[in-house]
Each structure stands twice: as structure tokens, then as C-alpha cells.
Amino acid sequence: MAAAALGISLAQPVTVWEDRALTFSGRLSNGAQKWYISLWQALPGGWVLRGATQSTTGGAYRITYTPTTAIRTTFRTVIGPKFYGAPAMSPAVIGTALDRKIVVTKPAASYVTLTGVAVTGSLVPAEPGREVVLQDRLGNGAWRWLTSVKADAAGRFRLRMPDNFPSSRTVRVVSRGVPAAAVEVSPTAWIVIKAGLNPKVYAVAASMVPKTYRAGCPVGPGSLRLLTMNYWGFDGLVHKGELIVRDAAVQKMIKVWTATFNAKFPIRRMQRVDVFGGSDIRAMAADNTSVFNCRQVTGNPYALSPHSYGHAIDINTVENPYLAANNVWYPSNGLSYRNRSWVRPGMLFTNSTATRSLVGQGYFWGAGWSKPDYQHFQPR
């Protein structure tokens, strides 16, 4: 009786992701141990050796191969170290490694400064906790690290862009904390951030003006609005500011500040006076730009300030000081700006965009008073 032909089996491997091991297993028909088994992959140029092992109990064997890219190709195992002329060859199986990738959500055509611009996307497959890095390309072609985050439980990420200045840049997302051969790089994306005022209007509750409003004030919170918007700082960057204004003055203020923003007129600070405990002196010393504050006139305790009505506005109080009724200049750290012939950033003049815009909206500038108030504008 003729001896059975020598054979070698090969099970279909489970599909994996690239950079993860494909496992090839089978058995020798004769059950021999310690026989040399080699794994081969079919490529356009021929068969390429991908691994080897020795058979174990019952002729079983197991060989792993880790592809570094996505593949779907044919594999065989043979007895011995050579593919051609081997005493036995397994049936062909298909080994598949899926493409591991970083998917970036298509960005909008453009964004506005200080609107929480972010690059979002996901890891495929999901890798919770995997760190990803946002990079932008410099003029010399090098990539610069901007920020990094760890993917959430679903493999998603959100990487905040620096958005406090207008820019157009090419960005990409790169995985981190993996071997160099396993690093994934996303397709590039083009992010455009444009400078814009981005005004938003909100209702005002009494809790929002605890230091600048009290019972008996001529205007209550219900007639006030919180106006948030962007402004150019002295540092050349865009910042977010806020004004508490009379409801009827909102649209005028938006027009004024749109023109002022477009002219890149610098503002030092723009916060509600409640941040300074309702103190006009503290707010002026901080170079704050503000509108509403129900109070007496600084330097004249017998007069109610026009700011109590939510229309009057003070701009860059240090660069534009004022002479009070008591003949004291405020703020004390703005005394050098009494010299209006020495022109410096943030100072207001007749031809300043803010001045012209406010006058165009029916405001009067206090610079013309006998006791000049260079920071102050109020309705005629």
C-alpha cells in the first residue's frame, strides 16, 4: 500500500489592522515535531519570506507576521526554508490588514477669530487614550507642534487651534506614543481664520451687575444688555470683551465697534465694571473700556453719572484721562497722556475711527469740555 502524501494545512487568518500581527496556523499531516515551517507572501516580484517556526505536538505550528501597511495578499506555508522545491506546500489563503488611519473632519471654508476653532476627527480603529498631535506647516516645510489631546472612548479628538489672530495654514494630525513605523499621519487640512467682531447680545440679570446696579438706579437690568465682541489688543492679537449697555444702544455700539475693529484700533481691556467692584477709579486705573455703571460722577459726588443710563462710554481710560470737577486728573497712571501732541497707540483724537463712529451715531466727545474728558462719549 502506498504511503500517504505529505501535506501541510493553513487556516484562514483573522483580519487585523496594520501594525498588528496576522496569525497563520496549521498542521503537518504526519504529525511530526520540530520540522522547519516557513511563511511566504505573494508580491508582484515573487514570493517573499515572512517568518518561520518549528512544528510542535501533533505537527501543529503557528507563525505571526506584522504588516506595516494595509494589505490583502496571498500567503502560503511550506515545509523547509525554500519556497520552490519544498516537499509540501499549504493551500493559499488571503491575509488582510486594514488601513489604520486618522480621519480629519472637513473644515469650514473659514472661521472667525475667538470662536473656538478646532480640528476634529477620529482614529480608525478607535484607540481610546491614544495621544494625537496637531501640527502646522511652516514656510520652510517643517512641521510645528501646536497642541495635543488624547482620544476619547470612541476614538474621537478635538484639537483647539490658536484663533486669536487671523491666519491661513496647512495642518495635520499625527499619532504619538507609538513606534516610529506605526505613526499615523492624517491628510492635511487648510484652516482659514478671519478677524471679525463677532458680536453677541444677551439679556442681563441683576446677578450680572451686583456692584454697578442697585435699587433706585434710573435703568434696571431688564433694560440692559450684555454685548460681547472681539477687539484688537495692544499686543496685536484679538481678545474677547464685554460691555453692559442700554438695550436701545446695542445696534449703535455694534456699528461703532465694527468700524473700530476693522481699523485695528487697540483696546487695553473691556470688562464690565463689576469686575472692579463697581469702582470707576479702579476701572480707569486698569485702562478699562466700559459703558454702564450706576454711580456718581467721579470727582463730583453731587451729580449722577451719565453711565448710569447705559449709553455713555469710556474708552482706554489711561491713554485718555479726564480732568474732574475737583481739578484732579484721573486715572493717576494716565497723567503723561495729558500731552495730546505726543501721539501714542490707544489715544483718541478727532480723526480716530472710534471718535468719528461715535459722533456719527449721535454722541458727543468730552474732549471739548472746559475740563476735558478724553475717554468719555455720551449721547447729545
* Torsion, CA 257, CA 291, CA 350, CA 284, rounded to 10: -120
Cell 492679537 belongs to: 237
* Torsion, CA 42, CA 47, CA 51, CA 57, rounded to 10: 90
Q: How many whole angstroms separate alpha carbon 164 and alpha carbon 239?
A: 7
Cell numbers standing for residue 133: 498631535
Asked if residues 37 and 86 have their Cβ atoms less than 8 Å apart, the reply is no
Cα–Cα nearest to 59, from 26, 82, 93, 86: 26
Residue 291 burial (C-beta neighbours within 10 Å; 0-12, 13-18, 19+): buried
16-98 and 101-194 share one fold: yes
3-state SS assignment for residue 143: strand
CATH of domain 16-98: 2.60.40.10
Domain boundaries, given as residue ranges, for the chain: 16-98, 101-194, 200-379
**103 contact partners, CB below 8 Å, separation of at least 6:** 121, 122, 123, 124, 186
Task: Note the pLDDT of residue 32.
Answer: 97
Cell numbers standing for residue 202: 444677551
331 cis-preceded (ω within 30 degrees of 0): yes
Asked if residues 320 and 289 have their Cβ atoms less than 8 Å apart, the reply is no
Out of 2.60.40.10, 2.30.40.10, 2.40.50.140, 3.40.630.30, the CATH code matching 101-194 is 2.60.40.10
Which DSSP category does 185 fall into? Answer: B
Cell numbers standing for residue 205: 440679570
SS3 content of the chain, % helix, strand, coil (to 5): 15, 40, 45
pTM strictly above 0.85:
no
125 cis-preceded (ω within 30 degrees of 0): yes
Q: How many whole angstroms separate alpha carbon 165 and alpha carbon 71?
A: 44
**297 contact partners, CB below 8 Å, separation of at least 6:** 303, 304, 305, 324, 325
Cα–Cα nearest to 338, from 352, 330, 299, 346: 330
Cell 496576522 belongs to: 22
Asked if residues 158 and 142 have their Cβ atoms less than 8 Å apart, the reply is no
Q: pLDDT tens string for the chain (380 positions)?
A: 456 789 999 999 999 999 999 999 999 999 999 999 999 999 999 999 999 999 999 999 999 999 999 999 999 999 999 999 999 999 999 999 999 999 999 999 999 999 999 999 999 999 999 999 999 999 999 999 999 999 999 999 999 999 999 999 999 999 999 988 889 999 999 999 999 999 999 999 999 999 999 999 999 999 999 999 999 999 999 999 999 999 999 999 999 999 999 999 999 999 999 999 999 999 999 999 999 999 988 777 778 999 999 999 999 999 999 999 999 999 999 999 999 999 999 999 999 999 999 999 999 999 999 999 999 999 99
Q: How many whole angstroms separate alpha carbon 204 and alpha carbon 289?
A: 19
Q: How many whole angstroms separate alpha carbon 209 and alpha carbon 291?
A: 12
Q: How many whole angstroms separate alpha carbon 139 and alpha carbon 132?
A: 23
Which DSSP category does 309 fall into? Answer: G
